[in-house]
Structure 1
Amino acid sequence: MAKPTPLDHQLHKRLLDHLSTAVLLLDQDLRLRYLNPAAEMLLSTSAQRAVGQPLPECFFDDPDAQAALIRCIEEGHPFTRREARLQFAPGQELTVDYSVAQLAEPGRSPSLLMELQPLDRLLRIAREEALVHAHQATRALVRGVAHEIKNPLGGIRGAAQLLERALPAPDLAEYTRVIIDEADRLRALADRMLGPRRLPNFRSLNIHECLEHVRQLILAEHPEGVRVQRDYDISLPEIPADRDQLIQVILNLARNAVQALTEANMPDATVIFRTRVQRQFTIGAQRHRLIARIDIQDNGPGIPEELRETLFYPMVSGRANGSGLGLSIAQSIISQHQGMIECESTAGRTVFSLLLPMEHITGTEGESESP
């Protein structure tokens, strides 16, 4: 059997360098001997800095994983871990599948080959697709119910008006007026359940102008007690969007944040408007070269865990007097912009993120409604 030549070694290194799978080589003391570029990116380090260092402690948080590594180096038993959560630093957590196998060469100490496949992006895409499908199905159901409500309401209101004219005593009209007012209220609710009545009117706009408009409205409504901070990426170019609809969405999210802060009597109530650009980002099943990320963050008590999975569904609200339609309508508007709203919430930090494509939008997913 021919021995490997330097040319073979160069080819093998080129193959490893071009893999999208992160590859680590560990010595018998579980110190790093080699990282390919995918591993450098995954671990947020460089090979020059990492080689010779011990395997990060997050791989040893699970005693079973630590025992499996030792057993693999001593006895050669390969193993695989699925959806392992690795925390390299505060706020830097990854979900990965990784496999470990022993490499044994005659006359040399055994080493370990570790392959890591990041899952965060795949899990997020799956979660987003499930959310989009559930939202579309729920919206279709709610729209059907809203249409069915509106049809008899017209007859009820008309009959009440005819009855009002035929009443023998004027003071009895207060009863028909109650019927008419309640029918109007239900019709308004049904209109809100139907969502946006028109397609977006896309124009290139400065997202910071929309955020500043909402910020002034919030400060006018709450002159004391709530701070609205700005953390803008001023290099963000104009994006295609409907200004009025985008302001409606941002204002809804900002008011929700302020209400959560005021109801909880937070001593240092703060809302943060943040803008960033993200590259090569997938929304649903479509990958976008550039997206604009607009965060509405507050330091309130957080969203109850039982509401987080159904937060964007119609008629779901965390407040006793809430209609549960605001977030559903906001998600519908952003869906028509081919974007998405995400939410992350823990005690002391809740962030609603608007993800909007920055390229030209050629079509929409929504449909206009007639009044």
Structure 2
Amino acid sequence: MYQRLMEHLTTAVLLLDGQLRLRWMNPAAEALLALSRARVTGLALPGLVDAEEDIGGLLAKARDEFHPFTQREARLTLPTGEVQTVDYTVTPLSPDELLLEVEPRDRLLRISREEALQTRQETIKVLARGLAHEVKNPLGGIRGAAQLLERDLEDPQLTEFTRIIVEEVDRLRDLVDSMLGPNRVSRHEPLNVHRVLERVRALVAVEHPEVAITRDYDPSLPDLIGDESQLIQAILNVARNAVEAMTEAGIEGPALVLRTRARRQFTLGAERHRLVCEVSILDNGPGIPDALKETLFYPMVSGRAEGSGLGLSIAQSILHQHQGLIECDSRPGKTEFRLLIPLETSHD
């Protein structure tokens, strides 16, 4: 009866012998660790999964001291190469039996991270709109005063200075408008995401013919509901950012990958969606400095000398209008931006 109960638990449960060999595990453990019980029974668990800390040593210590312990946010590398963040508890049942309970943490950590990201983005949006209001009012006054002054000046050399004032005021106004993201109402219609990506690919190929662009599309993806021109802008901003980072770093053989996948039963923020479109943009550039990772989507933040710091902020704003978001994983030699858009999105 107890075995039947454990087989229906959503928590992964494994039973090990005194030599840390697998005696039994429930279906939740098979799914989490991507292992088949029939094929791995009798094998030592430390040889099946790898961890940042010596999992074999920790299990042996619990066995020898006959004392339970819990490890929080341990990173396990599975036989498939996938890395899972888990909490696990080891309970010695006897000198020859250890009970191992494993609880995945990746989904909860990602939900927490996405909720924090969305909260920060909303805060930034409110601050940016307040800043725009406070800046644009005096800019309008400066521009008007410069135009009035220009009418009363007789010396053409002096009127050149007033024109510079007007041009710089207009530039600052446009910069403030850019901080606010798209300034028109979105038109959400059915669209093919691969048509959007092909447009982006063509634009990047013309601007940077030295970059090798690979397409890895999932042809089974259905149409999504969105604003095609805005999504082109968002994906183009991310792709250009990647290409320019590779160019400035002088990467030999710069490469860009455009990939699409469908994610089922996927959670964005606190909301679970039946189907999500994942657009990935991968590059082999230098990676994003650790100091920038937490503020990457803030306006005016850039890791490039010539960057305006607005491209990724605008892209994230567009994704939020589509009830989606952008995630990023980066290390030297591989940076991946994932644009996640619900496929069953409803709009007012």
Query: TM (normalized to structure 2)?
Result: 0.96
Superposed, which structure 2 residues align to 1:326-337 within 5 Å?
Answer: 326-337=311-322
Aligned partner of 1:62 among 45, 53, 56: 53
State whether residues 60 and 66 of structure 1, in contact with CA within 8 Å, keep that contact through their aligned partners in structure 2. no
**Are the aligned partners of 1:96 and 1:117 in contact in 2 as well (CA < 8 Å)?**
yes
For 1:220 and 1:351, the matched residues in 2 are separated by: 22
How far apart are 1:134 and its partner, in Å?
1.2
Tell whether 2:307 aligns with 1:322. Answer: yes
**Deviation of residue 234 (structure 1)?**
0.6
**Identity in percent:** 57
Partner of 1:6: none
Counterpart of 1:177, as a letter, is: R
Alignment of 1:175-186 (within 5 A): 175-186=161-172
CA contact (8 A) 1:296 1:351 kept: yes
**Match of 2:205?**
219
Match of 1:15 in 2: 5
- Flag the 1:242–1:60 CA change in 2: closer, same or farther, 3 A: closer
Q: 1:43 aligns with which of 24, 27, 33?
A: 33
How far 1:94 moved relative to its partner?
A: 1.3
Aligned: 1:205 with 2:191:
yes
Partner of 1:282: 267
Q: Give the drift of 1:261.
A: 1.7
2:102 to 106, 110, 116: 116
Rg larger in structure: 1
Is residue 2:151 matched to residue 1:168? no
Matching residue of 2:335 = 350
Deviations 1:277-336 (A, max 9, x none): 011111011000110000011111111111111100111011122221111111011001
CA distance in 1, matches of 2:314, 2:276: 21
Deviations 1:60-82 (A, max 9, x none): 7535x544422432342111111
Match for residue 367 of structure 1?
none
Number of equivalences: 347
Q: Secondary structure at the match of 2:306?
A: coil
Structure 1 counterpart of 2:45, which letter?
A: L
CA distance in 2, matches of 1:190, 1:180: 15
Other structure's SS at 2:128 match: helix
| 1:99 Cα offset (Å) | 0.8
Q: Describe the superposition over 1:322-357 as per-residue Cα deviations: whole angstroms up to 9, x where unpaired.
A: 221111111011001000001111111111110000
Q: Tell me if structure 1 keeps the 8 A contact 2:322–2:345.
A: no
2-structure distance, mates of 1:184, 1:60: 56
Partner deviation per Cα, 1:223-260 (whole Å, 9 max, x = no partner): 3x111110001111111111000000111111111111
1:49 Cα deviation from its structure 2 partner: 0.8
**Is the 2:146–2:162 contact (alpha carbons within 8 Å) kept by the matching residues of 1?**
yes
1:31 corresponds to 2:21: yes
Query: C-alpha distance in 2, partners of 1:356/1:265?
Result: 33
Task: Give the deviation of 1:59 after TM superposition.
Answer: 5.9
Compute the displacement of 1:207 (Å). 0.4
SS at match of 1:331: helix
Q: Find the counterpart in structure 2 of residue 366 from structure 1.
A: none
Instruction: Report the Cα distance in structure 1 between the residues aligned to 2:168 and 2:58, rounded to whole angstroms.
Output: 67
Asked if residue 294 in structure 1 is aligned to residue 279 in structure 2, the reply is yes
Moved over 3 A (4+): 57-61, 65-68
Matched residues in 1 for 2:328 and 2:81: separation? 16
Q: How does 1:97-176 map to 2 (within 5 A)?
A: 97-104=87-94, 110-176=96-162
Which aligned pairs between 1:182-261 and structure 2 lie closer than 5 A? Answer: 182-223=168-209, 225-261=210-246
Matches of 1:343 and 1:289 in 2, distance apart? Answer: 22
Q: Which consecutive residues of structure 1, in runs of 5 or more, have no partner in the other structure?
A: 1-8, 364-371
- After superposition, the Cα gap between the structure-2 partners of 1:111 and 1:160, relative to the gap in structure 1 and judged at 3 Å, is same
Q: Secondary structure at the match of 2:78?
A: strand
- CA contact 1:139–1:314 (8 Å) conserved in 2: no
How far apart are 1:136 and its partner, in Å? 1.2
- More off after superposition, 262-271 vs 273-282: 262-271
Distance 1:60 1:216 in 2: 43
The answer (yes or no) to whether the contact 1:200–1:337 under 8 Å persists in 2 is: no
Q: How much has 1:142 moved relative to structure 2?
A: 1.6
Q: Unmatched 5+ residue regions in structure 2?
A: none
1:368 match: none
Is the Cα contact below 8 Å between 2:93 and 2:99 reproduced in 1? yes
Name the SS of the counterpart of 1:157 in structure 2: helix
